[in-house]
Amino acid sequence: MSLRSRSLPRRSCLSTPGSSDRFLAKAPTALADFSFLDLEDSVAPKEKVDARAKVVNAIRTLPWDDRVLCVRVNAWDTPWTYGDVIDVVGRAGARLDEVMLPKVRRASDVVALDLLLSQVESNAGLPLGHIGIEAQIETAEGLINVEDICASSPRLESIVFGPADFAASIGMPVTTIDETIHHAPSNPFSYVFAKILMAGRANGLNVIDGPFLKVRDLEALRYAASITASYGFDGKWALTPDQALVLNEVYSPSQELFDKSLEILSAYRIATEENRTGAVMFGDEMIDEASAKIALSFVARGERAGMKTSRDESSAH
Ligand code: GLV
Ligand code: MG
């Protein structure tokens, strides 16, 4: 597992086609927590092999600051997966944090990538386990096996929902992924979101929502993103830098929530340590150990995103 990237935020995960020098050059200028350079569905079959060198060059030469940097390889049911891994991970150097594997159907898909990565790391002089894995759930079979998939390798850092391929896999009558999916009378995505979230969290993984395809409608994106944010997802894919800005907001706690969480932690600490009570009134709410855990998760999320209290600290306890 990549120790560097595991605890970094992933509110916005920017997708960039690996075959386009122009888009690759622009990617580091976007304010995204995470960037992945794509060799899969945004690259035409005839460009797949040439894109590998462009991606390696981008990883080695562009100013990526400390964002998480990932390459999406092609799925195991194509002719390209092993070549993508050997060519890109073998030559990219230590700045590459992760490989994203699309269309994961079963745990052995991840195990195979893990084994291949160990050989490539050894031959490239990288520390064993340096490269983390992001696994995409994009088929009914992948969803059924998501619990085993999430437990399949210590390299796993995130489990990622791929709504477009998934809609195709289950035969949903839609032609795009937009906010109207969430208005369907019986929205199968609620089951999907809950199932992926539980499997990911049970294994300590980041849980990420996939793309929103109506790229010009940022308010509709905000609405769709707020749904997975309300489940507790860590972030969502961005297809443009503007989408990334919206996602950075949606997947951060609000300043008010962040401040309140700090105050709950402070009130709870005083109650338990100084007054030795396990439950205490906080305004008109009863708080206890569970409330402190919820508050801690918001504080951790806010701190990962660089938030600070907006309240006057001299008045804090
Ligand atoms: C992403 O890969 C998707 O299929 O939605
Ligand atoms: Mg896909």
Q: Is the pTM of this model over 0.85?
A: yes
Q: Is the CB of 163 under 6 A from ligand 1?
A: yes
Please list the residue range(s) of the chain that carry CATH number 3.20.20.60. 3-250
pLDDT band at 1 (very low <50, low <70, confident <90, very high): very low
3-250 is classed in which CATH architecture?
Alpha-Beta Barrel (3.20)
Q: Does any ligand 1 atom lie closer than 6 A to the CB of residue 142?
A: no
**pLDDT tens digits along 113-148:** 999 999 999 999 999 999 999 999 999 999 999 999
One-letter amino acid identity for 267? A
First to last CA, the chain: 39
CA nearest ligand 1 atom 2, residue: 162
- CB of 40 within 6 A of ligand 1: the answer is no
pLDDT reported for residue 313 = 59
Percentage of residues of the chain with pLDDT beyond 90: 85
Q: What is the predicted pLDDT for the residue at 2? A: 63
Does 317 have pLDDT greater than 80?
no
Compute the distance between CA of residue 286 and CA of residue 288 in angstroms, rounded to an integer.
7
**What residues contact 91, with CB distance under 8 A and at least 6 apart?**
56, 124
Conformational region of residue 96, where left means phi above 0, alpha means psi within -120 to 50, and beta covers everything else: beta
Q: Over range 41-66, report the average pLDDT.
A: 98
- On the question of pLDDT at 316 being above 90, the answer is no
Over residues 88-115, the pLDDT tens digits come to: 999 999 999 999 999 999 999 999 999 9
